[in-house]
A and B are shown apart, each in its own frame.
Chain A
Amino acid sequence: MEKLQGIGVSPGVAIGEALVVDSEEFRIPRRFVARDSVEYEVERLNKAIAAAGDEIARHRDAVSRELGAKYAAIFETHLQILQDSKLHGELEEMIAERHYTPEYAVSRVMRGYAEVFQRVQSRNVADLADIEKRLLRNLLGRRREGISQLTSPVLVLAHDLTPSEAANLDRRFVRGFVTEVGGPGSHTAIVAGALEIPAVVGTRPFLTEVSGGDLVIIDGDNGLVILHPDEETIARYRHEAEEIHSLAVRLETLRDLPAETKDGVRIELSGNIEFPHEVDHCIDRGADGIGLYRTEFLYLAADTEPDEEIHLAAYSRVVRSMGNRPVTIRTFDLGADKVPHLPTPEDERNPALGQRSIRLSLRNVDMFKRQLRAILRASALGNVRIMFPLISTILELRQAKMVLADVMEDLDEHRVPYQRNLPVGIMVEVPSVVMMIDHFVDEVDFLSIGTNDLIQYTLAVDRSNKDVVWLYNACDPSVLKLIAMTVEAARRKSVPVNLCGQMSGSPTYTMLLLGMGLRQLSVPPSAVPEIKKICRSVTIEQCEKVARHAFTFENARDVKSYLRGELKKHVPELGQ
């Protein structure tokens, strides 16, 4: 049994079979296959050899056609090397006798030949490397695709997942994630949250110690991954999984009750979603609306930019399902480095502070307009609000609103229906906006505090960097002050203010946030029942007292332990 400590980014416990997603860099670890899967692995090898052979033959024929047979000879050589019968025998033997994975066998054997070639000073060493890579690509490629074509439940273990891999995986079968890199707010974390499955990121490298099919436990609550668990541990976690389930069942009874405090103050409790299907999770839990609809997956799921109709189809699904309840759609919020169809930025040494989000939208106005048109068209179907992310200056907000006005004018000209006075708001996630909040409140219909980025920019901490992530604290007094300033300015001008981000979904902070005057919270759908339970268990007076006291501390740790104590006192059921 081996325990790995990482960062828990999505709660819950999962026990199941591992699916190991290899890195594309072809650093193939020595790994073993189970005795009874030798036949399957040999077949996988043979399929990869056949597929690689087909590829080479296609290249050969194309080059031969275009440049002449002489130039195609190199591919013929590759093909014949690949078809070497002794090579096949050696690879199969490594799998059958030594139980190596096909990947490791290929890597070992081909490198062995490369050494021989070097010794005899063959000019074909580079050709061997090329063939090795092609074989590995076919072996691993199959496995990487496998993540979207699964047939049984698995826990996905990877070095890292590309955003499109994360977005395209088969939701029915993935029961948990572990990645060696990444932090809270990484794409893996968001997707795991959306799927409501446990996830741990930022462990140390461990993929060499685990094989596909091994039993693994993911403890998302404590950021633990357990490899080769013993019987006792399995039993303990099975028990815990049942407890979590039974709490969820108890909280289900709150579904049709409002998020209202004991003294009768109504809290608007909405859901954060990324994928249209999550709207069902929100409705099932009785959320009051969609407080944050992230639209990034639309840009990540395909290699080409989504057109207006693709946007519209996704938005319509969400807006229609919610009926009259509000849906806040946030415009594009990614860096160019993450989006396949945008040119890779040249000078992006510091992406968090670079050309991303609204800045990128304002630089790519056509792309921005396509999204705005779709949002406006969806506004004719229900209660839509539009929200701009990462605003840092008032001019940026005005620019974005100008583009929106342009799009509206265009729709008017073509007599396309939309909600003319749909509310327009911004994310408050850059400290400069809080400093200038008195000006912003005059130019927006609502504010939404995005704590994830606000914390990152206030404390100058990259939450995906495990060496500094300990500095990343939602309840750092500086962050609390910024939230308080925003809430106060909004109150003076009667501008609604919402709080989304991970902080809002954590029971620890609910009393504090209500006590600070927040009346709108937007949380992951899975957190709706718990947060509602807290709202219904406390009075505003109690919360205000907690908030006042929390502001007397000078560091995050003291705030947090105080808040945990208060939660335990007021809502023992959730205060563990």
Chain B
Amino acid sequence: MEAMNPAQASRTVTVANRAGLHARAALLLANCVREFQAKVELVMDRQRVDALDMLQVLSLGANQGQSITLEASGLEAEAVLDALERLFAARFHEDEAEGEDH
């Protein structure tokens, strides 16, 4: 376990959108993280991946109902988690996108 430092935060979220954390959602997730000065890792079933590594995120294969722990570090660790939590809660705006997934 790494030593805790002030700029670290973690939160657990649930994949609520129907399509799950696949291409479209993963893209929104990564784009969201890029807006902040923080590094975000997704932890699920003992797997830990960087939110920006699309191939790794997709390899998790997180479907609807899956819970994921988001661990953030960096200047805006809290802020990025706030934004991500909103994104998960908003089901990655799936309805606006007519539930499509590529």
Hey, which chain A residues are within 8 Å of B59, CB to CB?
A: 113, 116-117, 120, 122
CB-based contact A119/B56 at 8 Å: no
Among B1-9, B22-30, B67-75, B83-91, the one that faces the other chain is: B22-30
Q: When chains A and B are docked, how far (Å) is the Cα of A309 from the Cα of B63?
A: 64
Among A74-82, A136-144, A449-457, A463-471, the one that faces the other chain is: A74-82
Contact with B along A368-396 (1 / 0, CB 8 A): 00000000000000000000000000000
A-B contact pairs, 21 of them (CB 8 A): A70-B97, A73-B27, A77-B26, A80-B52, A80-B54, A81-B54, A84-B54, A84-B55, A84-B56, A85-B50, A85-B53, A86-B55, A86-B56, A87-B55, A116-B59, A116-B61, A120-B61, A121-B61, A121-B63, A122-B58, A124-B102
Hey, which chain B residues are within 8 Å of A80, CB to CB?
A: 27, 30, 52, 54
**A123 an interface residue at 8 Å Cβ cutoff?**
yes
Contacts known (A77-B26, A80-B27, A80-B30); A119 close to B55, Cβ less than 8 A: no
Residue of A at shortest CB range from B49?
A: A86
Q: When chains A and B are docked, how far (Å) is the Cα of A201 from the Cα of B61?
A: 49
Hey, which chain A residues are within 8 Å of B61, CB to CB?
A: 116-117, 119-122
CB-based contact A117/B102 at 8 Å: no
**B60 an interface residue at 8 Å Cβ cutoff?**
yes
- Chain B residues numbered 15-70 whose CB sits less than 8 Å from any CB in chain A: 22-24, 26-27, 30, 49-50, 52-56, 58-61, 63
Quick one: which of B27, B58, B102 has the most chain A CB within 10 A? B58
Q: When chains A and B are docked, how far (Å) is the Cα of A121 from the Cα of B66?
A: 14
- Chain A residues numbered 108-148 whose CB sits less than 8 Å from any CB in chain B: 113, 116-117, 119-124, 127
Contact with B along A82-99 (1 / 0, CB 8 A): 011111000000000000
Q: When chains A and B are docked, how far (Å) is the Cα of A425 from the Cα of B73?
A: 84
Q: Count how many chain B residues have C-beta atoms less than 8 Å from C-beta atoms of the other chain.
A: 21
Q: When chains A and B are docked, how far (Å) is the Cα of A119 from the Cα of B27?
A: 21
Hey, which chain A residues are within 8 Å of B52, CB to CB?
A: 80, 85
Quick one: which of B49, B50, B52, B59 has the most chain A CB within 10 A? B59
Q: When chains A and B are docked, how far (Å) is the Cα of A127 from the Cα of B101?
A: 13
CB-based contact B50/A77 at 8 Å: no
In the A-B complex, the 9 residue pairs with the smallest Cβ-Cβ separation, listed nearest first, are A120-B61, A84-B55, A80-B54, A77-B23, A74-B102, A84-B53, A81-B55, A116-B59, A81-B54
Contacts known (A70-B97, A77-B102, A85-B50); A123 close to B23, Cβ less than 8 A: yes
> Which of under 10, 10 to 19, 20 to 34, or 35 or more describes the interface residues of A?
20 to 34
Residue of A at shortest CB range from B55?
A: A84
Q: How far is the CB of A89 from chain B (nearest CB, A)?
A: 10
Hey, which chain A residues are within 8 Å of B56, CB to CB?
A: 84, 86
Q: When chains A and B are docked, how far (Å) is the Cα of A127 from the Cα of B97?
A: 20
Hey, which chain B residues are within 8 Å of A117, CB to CB?
A: 58-59, 61
Hey, which chain B residues are within 8 Å of A74, CB to CB?
A: 23, 102
Q: When chains A and B are docked, how far (Å) is the Cα of A7 from the Cα of B101?
A: 54
Hey, which chain A residues are within 8 Å of B22, CB to CB?
A: 122-124
Q: How far is the CB of B19 from chain A (nearest CB, A)?
A: 8
Additional A-B contacts beyond A73-B24, A77-B26, A77-B27 (13; CB < 8 A): A70-B97, A74-B23, A77-B24, A80-B30, A81-B55, A85-B53, A86-B53, A120-B59, A122-B61, A123-B22, A124-B58, A127-B23, A127-B102
Q: How far is the CB of A333 from chain B (nearest CB, A)?
A: 49
Contact with B along A48-74 (1 / 0, CB 8 A): 000000000000000000000010011
CB-based contact A81/B24 at 8 Å: no
Q: How far is the CB of B86 from chain A (nearest CB, A)?
A: 20
Residue of A at shortest CB range from B56?
A: A86
